[in-house]
Amino acid sequence: MSEHTMHAIQIGDAKTPESLYLAEVARPSPAPHEVLVEIAAAGVNRGDCYQRMGFYPPPPGASDIMGLEFAGTVIACGENVTRWQVGDRIAALVAGGGYAQYGCVHEDHALPIPDAMSFAQAASLPEVIFTVWANVMEGGRLQPGETLLIHGGASGIGTMAIQMAKLRGANIIVTAGSDDKAAACCALGADNAINYSSEDFVARVKELTNQNGADVILDMVGGDYVARNIACAARGGRIVNIAFLKGSKVELDLMPVMLKNLTLTGSTLRARAIEEKTRLRKCVETEIWPHLGDQIKPVIHAIYPLSAAGDAHSEMEASGHTGKIILDMTTL
């Protein structure tokens, strides 16, 4: 392998986890406002699985290599870069390119890694923190003292949402698929956890809130959860969808939305403009980054070598994990 190439994960024709393979590809070069990073670790996200299946293509201009976040060391800077220098350890939010030994990121979309934090820990943070900030704090307008219902509380997004909402001073209810996952969520700071396999979360949320309902609901399930979220939302509640594991097409009675003055919203992060991601990074750096290691901690379920990306996708799709799944580029 030459200085102009690198190893990266490619998607095979079958588009299955087993079809992912390690290949030698061209190494990227940084644009004027980008830094080139020797990647040490990258987070695995549900969006990567969707991209592999052909449902979530990268936005124009982004790398077609999977991977929405990574951590590593800056090894080169574009001519207009002012925030970073060679040797800096950074964690970055990217629109693609994480499943590789090297990657480029806009200088304004990266954050410094605390000295005590490993690359694997740092790689678990950008996508979930940016997503929770954009959707819960901004889209959901979560206020201190309000009740937040988090579906999939043991997921990477869920475990971070618990911690960030606790920092905000919210009352937190989560749903999870097992008693063990529910207990893990409570250990992270959830006030109540509902095992959706054995309990009706609508009835339980109403019971836990004195029939008032949840002020903000973070949902990545969709399907029949959409109507059920409306049923257990408080008057003036905000329901935020960030994924639709059970499908995005539903039949709804919208009368309760009007009568309860609800807001139904949702967003994606990947295709946002450079300026919007820069604004989010500034918010995260000011509001969340100072609390790393104290009130905000990485939650890692498993670490795989880069060449085992297919196994990481299989584990992601099995939904048995608690926290983040990470790829380690130091062990191909």
- What average pLDDT is seen over the chain? 97
- Over range 119-133, report the average pLDDT: 98
Q: What is the pLDDT of residue 2?
A: 79
Q: How far apart are CA 134 and CA 68, in angstroms?
A: 16
Strand partners, 55: none
Categorize the per-residue pLDDT at 112 as very low, low, confident or very high, splitting at 50, 70 and 90.
very high
Q: How far apart are CA 9 and CA 103, in angstroms?
A: 13
The 10 Å Cβ neighbour count of residue 210 is 7
Distance (Å) of CA 179 to CA 80, 176, 190, 192, 217:
52, 8, 14, 12, 21
Categorize the per-residue pLDDT at 153 as very low, low, confident or very high, splitting at 50, 70 and 90.
very high
**Has domain 129-266 been given CATH number 3.40.50.720?**
yes
Look at strands 263-266 and 102-106 and give their pairing. Answer: unpaired
Burial 50-63 (b: 16+ CB within 10 A, else e): ebbeeebebeeeeb
Q: How far apart are CA 158 and CA 148, in angstroms?
A: 11
Q: What is the pLDDT of residue 231?
A: 98
- Over range 84-111, report the average pLDDT: 98
Burial 256-289 (b: 16+ CB within 10 A, else e): ebeeeebebebeebbebeeeebeebbebbeeebb
Look at strands 300-305 and 21-26 and give their pairing. Answer: unpaired
* One-letter identity of residue 90: I
- Over range 224-230, report the average pLDDT: 98
- Over range 158-186, report the average pLDDT: 97
Model confidence at 214: pLDDT above 90: yes
Q: What is the pLDDT of residue 260?
A: 98
Give me the sign of the Cα torsion angle 34, 118, 307, 18: negative
3-state helix, strand, coil in the chain (%, to 5): 30, 30, 40
- Over range 216-239, report the average pLDDT: 98
Model confidence at 290: pLDDT above 80: yes
- Over range 152-160, report the average pLDDT: 97
CB-based contact 193:164 (threshold 8 Å)? no
Domain ranges of the chain: 5-125+298-328, 129-266
Q: How far apart are CA 201 and CA 204, in angstroms?
A: 5
Give the pLDDT confidence of 260-285 residue by residue, as tens digits.
999 999 999 999 999 999 999 999 99
Give the pLDDT confidence of 187-203 residue by residue, as tens digits.
999 999 999 999 999 99
Q: What is the pLDDT of residue 274?
A: 97
Overall fold of domain 5-125+298-328? Quinone Oxidoreductase; Chain A, domain 1 (3.90.180)
CB-based contact 64:41 (threshold 8 Å)? no
- How much is the pTM? 0.96
Categorize the per-residue pLDDT at 129 as very low, low, confident or very high, splitting at 50, 70 and 90.
very high
Give the pLDDT confidence of 234-253 residue by residue, as tens digits.
999 999 999 999 999 999 99
